[in-house]
Amino acid sequence: MEHLFDQDWEIVPAGGATGEAFFAQYQEQRLFLKRNSSPFLAVLSAEGITPKLVWTKRLENGDVITAQHWLNGRELKPVEMKEDRVARLLKKIHTSKPLLTMLERLGTEPFQPDHMLTELETSLEFDLLTLPDVKKAMRFLQDGLDEVRQGEYVVCHGDVNHNNWLLSEQNQLYLIDWDGAMIADPAFDVGLLLYWYIPEDQWEDWLLQYGTELTDSLKLRMKWYVVAQTILFMQWHKAKGRFHEMNHWIEYLHKII
């Protein structure tokens, strides 16, 4: 990265799973750099969903480096996920035609619930598959598949954890870390957010701010995706040897199923 800048720039890794993100600073100038981020980032920036894209450079080896404003700010606290501005920004994302057009141009196929169920049926380890709650959950997923197929398809973030919501010092809210972007049923995002952060007796009010009603169809689709994701989390943590986290998701599945 250093050869992109004069020697006076300080460049340090930003952490993260990929190791492709960096912070760069020179006096008062501060940038967030990422290697080989998707062209989708330009549209996210133009729509005001992520911090402003400053420039894009292609290196001789073919890598593409993007630079965004590095903002002072903080991630949202779990309790702040109830706020109206979270609902409004998620709705803006789900109804954005430029975002959908760009993902389609990049060749993104709609995420089908059938594929998610097939992955669970074929890859789930036997000792998890034999748990009573997992058996019950798998029957729920199989029985509800036809109804879930009826969902619409929009741009979804795929990981609406509070850690991915950035509130700047100027009180501007952003949703960051778009590596898992997909074209999917909005119930994928909305379900995880409501189940994780919003008491059920407040769902209707939150959804009014989002701009929709809590119908029986939406309730089923949200639960379907949350149950499927929970089982995938169990499997992922087990494969990593993170048994404490695996047990957390086993207990969570018991609560929601």
Q: How many helices (H) and strands (E) does the chain have?
A: 10, 10
Kindly list the distances between the CA atom of residue 144 and the CA atoms of 44, 49, 139, 227, 234, in Å, as whole numbers in the listed order. Answer: 33, 33, 8, 11, 21
Q: Which two tokens stand for residue 254?
A: 């018991």
Q: What is the DSSP secondary-structure string of 181-195?
A: -EEE-THHHHHHHHH
Rounded CA separation 5/33 (Å):
12
How distant is the alpha carbon of residue 256 from its chain centre?
21
Cβ atoms of 174 and 168 closer than 8 Å:
yes
Please give the structure tokens belonging to residue 184. 């999917």
Q: Which has the closest alpha carbon to 157: 147, 148, 165, 149?
A: 165
Q: Is 159 a catalytic residue?
A: yes
Q: Work out whether strand 165-168 and strand 73-75 pair parallel, antiparallel, or are unpaired.
A: antiparallel
Selecting among 84, 127, 159, 177, the annotated active-site residue is 159
Known catalytic residues are 159
